[in-house]
Amino acid sequence: MSVDIWDYNEVNRVKSLIDEYFYVAIARAVNNKRAGVHVTDLVSECERKRFYLKTATPTSDITGHIYMWIGSLLHTTPLTSYHETTYEYNGVIATIDEYDDKNQILFDKKFVRNIPVNPPEEYVNQLRYYYAIMHHNGVQVKGCGLYYMNYMTLESKFVPVHITQSVPDILREIDERKESLLRHIDKMNTPDRNVGERCKRCYFSSRCFQ
């Protein structure tokens, strides 16, 4: 004899229950803090955001968390044999997305709902720092760029990133940002705001402007 528990109220109750499981799991995944100082902790031009990345929880709504989670899941698919390879420089950890060793091309994957005309400064800095740290570790990089994919339409785009600074200059910048970050964390002293267009898409904006 078959048993059917699925009346209207029970369906809605179970849906709400699973929704809750899902939202809790997504928030936990998105808000997971990594130990140590990573390149991605240093790439923002806003010192306050760099501080919040290590000390605070993003204030995005659940929809924003889900989109961040989708992007992080898509990142886990390896495209090269150097997928998510880790390098280190002076206590800063660089976990690159992909490196094509045959062509010596470094690229970072960005899964988005809308492909921007110009890459955000944080993405450019991320590749600059990876490039310098890889050179410091003896890995030659002839070119680097951003591989965008719109996961709604499956449109893709490659944007070259041109490195104009010397490796020593970039490494010096990394050192300065790391030391500044650690000083602020040690004293739990929130840096000044650096207001700009970046604030409109920052997931710490509601905390920052309280």
Is there a contact between 143 and 99 (Cβ–Cβ < 8 Å)? Answer: no
Task: Look at residue 66 in the predicted model and tell me its pLDDT.
Answer: 85
Domain-by-domain residue ranges, the chain?
8-208
Task: Look at residue 3 in the predicted model and tell me its pLDDT.
Answer: 62
Task: Look at residue 88 in the predicted model and tell me its pLDDT.
Answer: 97
Task: Look at residue 34 in the predicted model and tell me its pLDDT.
Answer: 80
Cα separation of 22 and 26, whole Å?
A: 6
pLDDT by position in tens, the chain (length 210):
556 777 878 899 999 999 999 988 888 887 777 889 999 999 999 999 999 988 887 766 788 888 888 888 888 899 999 999 999 999 999 999 999 999 999 999 999 989 998 999 999 999 999 999 999 999 999 999 999 999 889 999 999 999 999 999 999 999 999 999 999 999 999 999 888 888 888 888 888 888
Task: Look at residue 168 in the predicted model and tell me its pLDDT.
Answer: 97
Tokens representing residue 176 in the block: 């300065």
pLDDT, tens only, 81-101? 999 999 999 999 999 999 999
Task: Look at residue 1 in the predicted model and tell me its pLDDT.
Answer: 52
Is there a contact between 174 and 92 (Cβ–Cβ < 8 Å)? Answer: yes
Cα separation of 152 and 147, whole Å?
A: 15
Q: What is the pTM of this model?
A: 0.88
Task: Look at residue 207 in the predicted model and tell me its pLDDT.
Answer: 85
Element (H, E) at 135: helix 121-136
Task: Look at residue 172 in the predicted model and tell me its pLDDT.
Answer: 98
Task: Look at residue 2 in the predicted model and tell me its pLDDT.
Answer: 59
Q: Residue 167 phi/psi, 5° resolution? A: -60, -45
Indicate the class that CATH gives domain 8-208.
alpha beta
Task: Look at residue 27 in the predicted model and tell me its pLDDT.
Answer: 82
Q: Is 10 left (phi over 0), alpha (psi -120 to 50) or beta?
A: alpha
Quote the Cα angle for 178-81-164, to 5°: 45
Task: Look at residue 177 in the predicted model and tell me its pLDDT.
Answer: 97
